[in-house]
Every structure is written in C-alpha cells, then in structure tokens.
C-alpha cells in the first residue's frame, strides 16, 4: 500500500511538471511579439525591468490587452494600443486573451457575416474576450453577449495570428 501512495505522488509530480495545458501561460517566456492582458486592476508600468526603475504610469483596467515585445527575467516590456511602452512584472499579466474594439462604433454580429443581425454595438475601447479567430472574423464575448467582429476592428491580435 505505501508503494502505491509513493507511485501516485510521483505521477502527480511528473504530471505537474509536464507540458500540460495551462503550464505555459501566454505571458510566460516564448515567441515575441505576443499578446497577453493585464491581470490586475492596478499595474505599475516602469521605465526599466526592475523595481528600482521609476513608475511611468499606472494602468487601472484589468483585462486590457497588451503586446509583449521584450523580456528580461520576470519582467515584460509591453506596448499598449496607443503605442506606449514600459516594463511590468510578469505576475501582473494574464494569459486570458482580450481585445478592444477600435476607432468608431462597431457592430458585433450574430454570425461571421456582414449581413448578419447585430448582437450589440461597441464603442471604441470596449473590452471583449477573444474566443476564436481564424480569418477575417473573430468570435468574441462582451459580458454575456457572444458574437463575431471583423478582425480589422479589433486590437489585441497579431496580423496573421490564428487563435482557438
């Protein structure tokens, strides 16, 4: 019986160290550039990769998509939709994929078709959770409303990125 217990513990340990889904969140080290979102409603953005660097500004919007453009140890250099850049600690980022609607009021549609009924109209800056994107249309959710938006009307995706 004790041997089974030890084997079970070893199996759990091996599984936790393997490449299971979620083991490498989007904000972990990897290919650059890539997108993540702010994981807190208060994120200090610094001039360099460390607490010794001064705070440039503070984001107060959890879920805001940011582009990770550089890495240094546990620090990530990010760029926001406006093009502003700074350094944040990786623990303040989330792998949850979010996008924002851009420019003018945009329709989120019931189907991936410009003739489809609108589910809602989104102002610029409205946050949406990215559910899937594999071409010109992306499946997104704003609150409990699900629908489709044109990729070109969203910020938070690389130009040819496929997401599912």
Residues 51 and 30 in one domain: yes
Mean pLDDT of the chain: 88
Q: Token digits for 118?
A: 């609108």
CATH number at residue 149: 2.30.30.40
Residue 72 lies in a domain: yes
Per-residue pLDDT, averaged over 121-139, amounts to 97
Q: Is 73 a residue whose pLDDT tops 80? A: yes
Residues 92 and 105 in one domain: no
Residues 75 and 118 in one domain: no
Range of the domain at 39: 24-96
Q: Is 9 a residue whose pLDDT tops 90? A: no
Q: What is the pLDDT of residues 16-65, one digit of tens each?
A: 433 333 344 545 567 999 999 999 999 999 999 999 999 999 999 999 99
Residues 36 and 70 in one domain: yes
Cα distance between residue 101 and residue 26, in whole Å: 21
Q: Which residue has the tokens 């019986």?
A: 1
Total domain count for the chain?
2
- Of 96, 119, 134, the position where a domain reaches its end is 96
Residue 12 lies in a domain: no
Cα distance between residue 161 and residue 164, in whole Å: 10
Cα distance between residue 88 and residue 25, in whole Å: 16
Q: Is 5 a residue whose pLDDT tops 80? A: no
- Of 52, 67, 96, the position where a domain reaches its end is 96
- What Rg do the C-alpha atoms of the chain give, in angstroms? 19
Q: What is the pTM of this model?
A: 0.81
Give pLDDT, residue 22.
39
């Amino acid at each position: 019986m004790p041997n089974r217990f030890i084997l079970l513990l070893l199996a759990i340990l091996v599984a936790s160290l393997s490449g299971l889904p979620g083991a490498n969140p989007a904000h972990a080290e990897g290919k650059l550039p890539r997108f993540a979102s702010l994981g807190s409603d208060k994120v200090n953005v610094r001039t360099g990769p460390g607490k010794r660097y001064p705070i440039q500004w503070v984001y107060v919007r959890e879920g805001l998509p940011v582009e990770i453009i550089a890495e240094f140890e546990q620090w990530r250099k990010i760029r926001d939709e406006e093009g502003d850049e700074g350094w944040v600690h990786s623990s303040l980022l989330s792998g949850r994929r979010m996008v924002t609607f851009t420019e003018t009021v945009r329709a989120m549609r019931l189907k991936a078709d410009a003739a489809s009924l609108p589910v809602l109209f989104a102002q610029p800056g409205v946050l949406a959770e990215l559910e899937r994107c594999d071409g010109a249309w992306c499946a997104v959710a704003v609150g409990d409303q699900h629908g489709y938006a044109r990729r070109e009307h969203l910020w938070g995706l690389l130009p040819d990125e496929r997401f599912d």
